[in-house]
Amino acid sequence: MRLNTVACFLFGILYVANINSQNDISGSREIIQKQVDSLLGIMTIEEKVGQMNLYSGFWDATGPAPSEGNAQLKYKHIEQGLVGGMLNVRGVRQVKAIQKIAVENTRLGIPLIFGYDVIHGLKTISPIPLAESASWDLDVIETSARIAAIEASAFGINWTFAPMVDVGRDPRWGRVMEGAGEDPYLASKIATARVRGFQGNDLSAPNTVAATAKHFAAYGFAEAGKEYNSADISQSTLYNVVFPPFRAAVKSDVKTLMNSFNELNGEPVTASKFLQRDILKEKWNFGGFVVSDWASINELISWGLAKDKKEAAMYAAKAGSDMDMEGYVYVSELAELVKNGVVSEQLIDNAVSRILKVKFELGLFENPYKYCSIENQKNTISLNSKFQDSVLEIAKKSIVLLKNETKLLPLKKEGQKIALIGALANDKNSPLGSWRLAADDNSSVSVLEGMQAYTKNILVYEKGVDLTIGKTHFVKELNINTSDRTGINEAIDLAKESDVVVMVLGEHGFQSGEARSRTNIDLPGLQQELLERVFEVNENIVLVLNNGRPLAIPWAAKHIPAIVEAWQLGSQAGNAIAKVLYGDYNPSGKLPMTFPRNVGQIPIYYNYKNTGRPSNTEDNVFWSHYSDIENTPLYPFGHGLSYTTFKYSNLRLDKNEVKIGNSITVKVDLTNTGEYDGKEVVQLYIRDLYAQNVRPVKELKGFELVSLQKGESKTIEFTLDKSELGYYDNNGVFVVEPGEFKIFIGGSSITSLETSFKLLAE
């Protein structure tokens, strides 16, 4: 058997070498397809099904361990050629050891693909994806994914389970931290930037990795924001809100998609032929493969669709879930289902061919160990200062200045006594956020450390209250402190004798992320109490928020003069925050998600649809509103201040009427009217006034990050054509209807500068 195996392995090499000599292996799709086809031709059904089997390694399990899962079984299956890939295997040594088994001990020597959740960095941690999205800076977002890819590939990984491109409108859902916020247009641009960053221009390069757009689809619409819950949404929302970022990722040649845990309109997504075959593979012509989410094929049983594993495997395979992540279902059931004629071998061939293709494109057949250089790992992953500079840059740009009423910010660089209060100010772990599996614990720069660099001020720290009690681990529920107030008096005494109080409050790093839904999105634990007690003695408070989702902070928004949204900013968090507080970087971030006044307003998002009774012109109660709170959010999508001010003027169009098929140009003048150089994200929204389907009151259709020195003016130009002016109807058909459109331009979604034009029939 061993001889046989070696012979086959050698055959594999010769076979590849032969093809190699014909052409560049990564060059032509046709050549790769031929390679895939010939390999498929010599595979047994068991070996084919093996390629569709993905096992988790033995570290960092990112989901519940199934009863079948044990190391011996997994090793045995790898040796038998019954495994196509691994996830959660950490570092070159481990990857190489496991790859060796697959390549040297199996009949065909097909290399494994190694996946990992490299969501916002491997060792060098970027801001959480939601924070990065607040930069609206596609270049830095791409750079962030690039750095992650360079480190991941040096770590033995060639496949990342990112970007998550689920649109999120519900901040109760903990995974909004992992996405790009609530808007499909912004999320699509960011999806493209992230896929480009991970995959680069050449997937066969040793420092790029295959990306995964996840979770297809509608996972972000989990009812009531409760993790893993059902999603019940209209066709209009599906096509116009959920699909666009996935579509953008597919257009950017993303190599894999992950399906999702939820059911959508009654159908568990993992068993959805509509999503995985009809839309993705047929309509969008997606050439890569679909991986299930963690054991989501088994979950077809819990959903009540399949009565056992056999049925679960059948449903998922027929629907187009190509690879089974840690479910043990395909490997145990699929070959027999094919032999019994329940699942056609053609479907299996299609799935396997997609998987092999990605392996060929990665260059794994050419060199299965190409990501396995110990030396490269050592040199690349060393908390490398160049990467640290880059993530600092990204972190600064991710910060959003929510309020600066009394111009408390920027802080003076000397001559002030500053009180720094809040457990999060001295926390080197929480700023790393959720999904940073390979990062070293406590490796971020805390706010205290970042601010200490400005030594000409007197800076004194008091925690006030602890945020959590006891040890925290990412797979466990956190124990939030709701009783220990012992540090509050010290914090109050310090605040009394200080000129300015910087309070760092918000969520623990593991309070958002997967399985971290909350019904209450205020400041957790005793932090609100601490804030109010300190405010009684000193109102000069700069509130710095650290959080993975929008928070409801109405009291703070009303009373606290300066509020800075600093999310979870990664390795360089404290430095980035200090630079913004001291004005070394003038904040330019804009919210990618609406901040509600309270949870009762959720879901609240800027691109809602008009109702039949949108306002109270008649002075009665019969209009769409709440009796106890206004309709507007606390902070709208797109909001974010600067230390300088910007004036928008002279909004103009090149024509007032345009035929469908032609484009229209929009211009606006932007002037920096304040005292600092700064950057502004100029946002363009449209409103389609009359349409067969009710259209949102505003839709983002363009944005540009513009730098202006103080006193400087620039003209900003946008072009709109039918791709921005149409929408998907309830049958999924893209329609562009003649009619009237409004255009709004400004620095947030509530801008009032507007003009209009007519769209005429072709």
The contact set with ligand BGC (CB under 6 A) reads 62-63, 87, 117, 161, 214, 293-294, 514
**Shortest separation between residue 295's beta carbon and ligand BGC, angstroms:** 9
Give me the residues paired with residue 706 across strands.
680
Let me know: does 679 contact 588? Beta carbons within 8 Å: yes
Distances (CA, A) of 549 to 131, 171, 275, 482, 545: 9, 6, 28, 21, 10
CB of residue 165 to ligand BGC, shortest distance in Å: 11
| Least spacing, CB of residue 36 vs ligand BGC, in Å | 25
Q: State the Cα–Cα distance between residues 169 and 172, nearest whole angstrom.
A: 9
CB atoms under 10 Å from CB of 217, counted, come to: 30
Minimum CB–partner distance for residue 327 and ligand BGC (Å): 12
Beta carbon nearer to ligand BGC, 157 or 418: 157
Q: How far is the CB of 227 from ligand BGC (least distance, A)?
A: 9
User: 63 vs 640, which CB is nearer to ligand BGC?
Assistant: 63
669 is catalytic: no
Contacts of 196 (CB under 8 A, 6+ apart): 142, 145, 252
Backbone angles phi, psi at 691, to 5 degrees: -155, 160
Those residues whose C-beta lies under 8 Å from the C-beta of residue 159, and which sit 6 or more positions away, are 85, 113, 114, 115, 116, 209, 210, 212, 255, 256, 358, 362
Least distance (Å) from ligand BGC to the CB of residue 214?
6
Number of H helices, E strands in the chain: 23, 26
DSSP 605-625: -TTPBP-SS-S-TTSSS-SS-
**Least Cβ distance, residue 212 to ligand BGC (angstroms):** 7
Nearer to ligand BGC, 262 or 444 (CB): 262
Closest CA to 82 of 45, 39, 40, 37: 45
- In degrees and rounded to multiples of 5, residue 635 shows phi and psi of -135, 125
Given the complex with ligand BGC, which of 175 and 428 has the nearer CB atom? 175
Q: Minimal distance in Å, beta carbon 117 to ligand BGC?
A: 5
Q: How far is the CB of 47 from ligand BGC (least distance, A)?
A: 25
**What is the distance between the alpha carbons of residues 203 and 370, in angstroms, rounded to a whole number?**
12
Tell me, what amino acid is at 567?
W
Nearer to ligand BGC, 63 or 197 (CB): 63
Read off the amino acid at residue 721.
D
Nearer to ligand BGC among residue 88 and residue 511 (C-beta): 88
Q: Provide the 3-class DSSP secondary structure of residue 375.
A: helix
Q: How far is the CB of 55 from ligand BGC (least distance, A)?
A: 12
Shortest Å, Cβ 170 to ligand BGC: 17
Quote the CA–CA distance of 697 and 689 in Å, as a whole number.
8
Give the residue with the Cβ less far from ligand BGC, 137 or 170: 170
Beta bridge partners of 163: none
Query: Which residue is it, tokens 């600066």?
Result: 404
Nearer to ligand BGC, 117 or 311 (CB): 117
| Nearest to ligand BGC of 87, 577 (CB atom) | 87
The torsion angles phi and psi of 686, rounded to 5 degrees, stand at: -120, 160
Do 103 and 371 form a contact (C-beta atoms < 8 A)?
no
Task: Report the alpha-carbon distance of residue 170 to residue 602 in Å, rounded.
Answer: 6
Residues 6+ apart with CB under 8 A from 377: 91, 92, 154, 155, 156
Residue placing its CB nearer to ligand BGC in the complex, 163 or 726: 163
Residues in the chain: 762
Minimum CB–partner distance for residue 87 and ligand BGC (Å) = 6
Beta bridge partners of 210: 159
What does each C-alpha distance from 98 to 74, 76, 113, 225, 496 come to in angstroms? Answer: 10, 11, 11, 39, 60
Cβ-based neighbours of 646, under 8 Å, separated by 6 or more: 670, 671, 672, 673, 674, 678, 680, 708, 747
Amino acid at the residue 608 = Y
Local structure of residue 440 (DSSP, 8 states): P
Which residue lies nearer to ligand BGC by CB, 156 or 363? 156
Laid out side by side, the sheet with 754-760 consists of: 657-659, 754-760, 739-746, 678-688, 699-708
In terms of CB distance, is 60 or 499 closer to ligand BGC?
60
Residue partners of 659: CB distance under 8 A and separation at least 6 = 759, 760, 761, 762
DSSP annotation of 175:
G
CB of 180 to ligand BGC, least distance (A): 15
Burial 573-583 (b: 16+ CB within 10 A, else e): bbbbbbbbbbe
**How far apart (Å, rounded) are the C-alpha atoms in residues 540 and 535?**
8
| Residue 659, strand partner residues | 760
- Cβ-based nearer residue to ligand BGC, 214 or 370: 214
Residue facing ligand BGC at closest CB distance: 62
242 near 264, Cβ under 8 Å?
no
**Set 117, 293, 322, 324: catalytic member:** 293
CB contact at 8 A, 111 and 95: no
**Positions marked active-site:** 293
